[in-house]
Structures are given as structure tokens and as C-alpha cells.
Amino acid sequence: MGEINRLSTTLCGIELENPIIPASGTFGFGYEFAEYYDINKLGTFSFKGTTKDPRFGNPTPRIAECERGMINAVGLQNPGVDAVIEKELPKLKEVFHKPVMANVSGFGVEEYAYTCQRINDCDQVGWIEVNVSCPNVHGGGMSFGTDPKAAAEVTKAVKAVTTKPVIIKLSPNVTDIVSIAKACEDAGADGISLINTLLGMRINLKTGKPVIANKMGGFSGPAIFPVAVRMVYQVSNAVNIPVVGMGGVSTAEDVIEMMMAGATAVEVGAANLINPCACLDIIESLPSVMDKYGIDNLSSIIGKSHE
């Protein structure tokens, strides 16, 4: 059996050569990383969070360092869906020859639906990953992903306008992640991806003020990995749709642990910001780590911890 077969997995009916997916917001629109290595070696990648209209993002500073992680409050800076379709995807097509995962954000249900409908017409896009961690401007600023009803409403609206598999990306900043995942499944979601960043903050000891202009931001990196494993385990045990696991993944061992917890594929985020070749390194080291633990193929270990 060749290495490719050993690493393959199927996500919402589309086969991936391997389960490694750079996470949205850490890999641009892909072609930027094609200067470092052949990005076709990836399973796929999730491109930069895209909204209906262009967004400049939050004021700076937007990044704060932490022990074993980082906090960011970039604020969904992106050129808007029209520019993504007209400029970014054609550039990507020149260097990436696999289906790509589109990541979509919005501040109202109609916005999510509009952006997903536009992206549905792009042949390059295999899956739509819908980030429900955005503040719901019509619902008092709480994110769609903190309320099962709101998450289900977004899921239904998106499913009504697209034929592509819809994967809902959930926020971990909730008390009961399972009820939200199940509400998305009941509303027609084809998959769940989790976790998005935890909420974090740093304070400058000299000024006594928050380091980030936005005060708080998304906490990511190896420090959040155990939280991510726990939530992937809980959700994959409760739903009958595939789960994409992420949160602090930085090694081949982490990937195997995530898959044993129940992930069908694994996204790698902050590690890409430290080492642009992080995903390639993980893919290349997977076979030897699998040999060490007596794993013939990755698809056989999905959810092993539930047995």
C-alpha cells in the first residue's frame, strides 16, 4: 500500500490525499505559500475569511504574544467576495489544482446567504466552511455560534442557496458545544469544524492597558490543544456528520490524537505563522509516526477513542 493511500480520508464525499488543511486566516489565499513549496501536497486549505463587503479589519496593534500561543484580533480583513472571486481565485487556480475550502463570515443571516450563493458558482470551491463565530449585529453583538437557534438559522439559510457541502465552524466560547453542533446538524449541515479561537487578553505592565487595541482577541496555539481535543471528542460522539478538528495542532502526533478523538480531517492554524512549511512538515512526518504506533491507514483511527 502506497503512502498516499495510507494518509487518505474522505470529507463530505470528497477524497483528500491526506487530512492536513491549513486553517482559514493563517494561509491567505494559498498562492502566497506556493512560493515556499508545492501546495498541491496539502489535503486542501481553507482560504481567508470572506465577507460580502470589503473589510479593513480592526485597529492595530492586533497581535499579542503568549506562552505557547498568541492572541489576534485581525477583524476579518478581506477584499470582499466579489474581489475574491474575480482576483484571488484566478491567481490560486494557477498554482493549486484541487478543490479548495471557502471560509465565509457575516454579520447577518442574509449576508451569509448572499456570500455563499456567490461562492457556490465557483468550480474551484469544494466545501464552504461557515464561520458562525462572528458578532450578530442584529442580535445584540453575541455571535451566531453561541446560540443553537441562531447557528441553525445560518445553516438553513446557507444550505438553501448552495449545492456544495456546508461545514459549520463553531466557537468554543460556549458552555454546551454539543447542543450547538446538533442544532447545525438538524438544520442540514454536512460537517462541523471546531474549534475556533478561545477568547484571550494581555495587559501591558508598563501602561496598565490591554496590549491589543480591540482589548480582547482570539487565543490560539499549542496551549489550546487539550480544549480542542475535548470538544472534537464530545461533538463527534454526538453527531453523525464528519468533524474537522483544529486548535493548537502543530505535529503529526497532534493530528493522530485529533483523529482518534473523532476528526475526519485536521486543520493547522497558528503553526503556519511560525513556520510557513509547518503543514508540509506534518504531512512528511505522518507515515513514520503512524509506523511507530502501528497505524496502517489514518481513516481506520477516526473516532478510535470512542470504542
Instruction: Provide φ and ψ at 114, rounded to 5°.
Output: -60, -50
> Which regions of the chain are under pLDDT 70?
1-4, 135-137, 139-141
In a domain? residue 143: yes
What is 203-257 written as a DSSP string? Answer: B-TTT-SBSSTTS-EEEESGGGHHHHHHHHHHHHHH-SS-EEE-SS--SHHHHHH
Single out the catalytic residue among 134, 184, 277, 279.
Answer: 134
In a domain? residue 210: no
Give the Å distances, CA to CA, from 37 to 32, 269, 279, 292, 307: 10, 17, 10, 27, 38
Q: Which long-range contacts (CB under 8 A, 24 or more apart) does 235-239 make?
A: 235/170, 235/177, 235/178, 235/181, 235/192, 235/194, 235/262, 236/261, 236/262, 236/263, 236/303, 236/306, 237/262, 237/303, 237/306, 238/178, 238/181, 238/182, 239/181, 239/182, 239/185, 239/192
Residue reference for cell 493530528: 255
In a domain? residue 149: yes
Residue reference for cell 493547522: 268
Which of 62, 142, 55, 59 lies closest to 104, judged by CA? 55
- Structural contact between residues 197 and 174, judged by C-beta atoms closer than 8 angstroms: no
In a domain? residue 208: no
Q: What is the mean pLDDT of the chain?
A: 95
Per-residue pLDDT, 1: 43
In a domain? residue 66: no
Distance separating alpha carbons of residues 220 and 71, to the nearest angstrom: 6
Which of 11, 51, 54, 46 lies closest to 26, judged by CA? 46
Q: Find the CATH number of the domain harbouring 98.
A: 3.20.20.70
134 is a catalytic site residue? yes
Instruction: Note the pTM of the prediction, 2 decimals.
Output: 0.96
Per-residue pLDDT, 5: 86
Q: Which domain holds residue 178?
A: 3-59+72-199+218-306
Give how many domains the chain has, as a whole number. Answer: 1
In a domain? residue 213: no
In a domain? residue 120: yes
Per-residue pLDDT, 137: 66
- Structural contact between residues 51 and 111, judged by C-beta atoms closer than 8 angstroms: yes
In a domain? residue 65: no
Rama region for 240: left / alpha / beta (φ>0; ψ in -120 to 50; rest): alpha
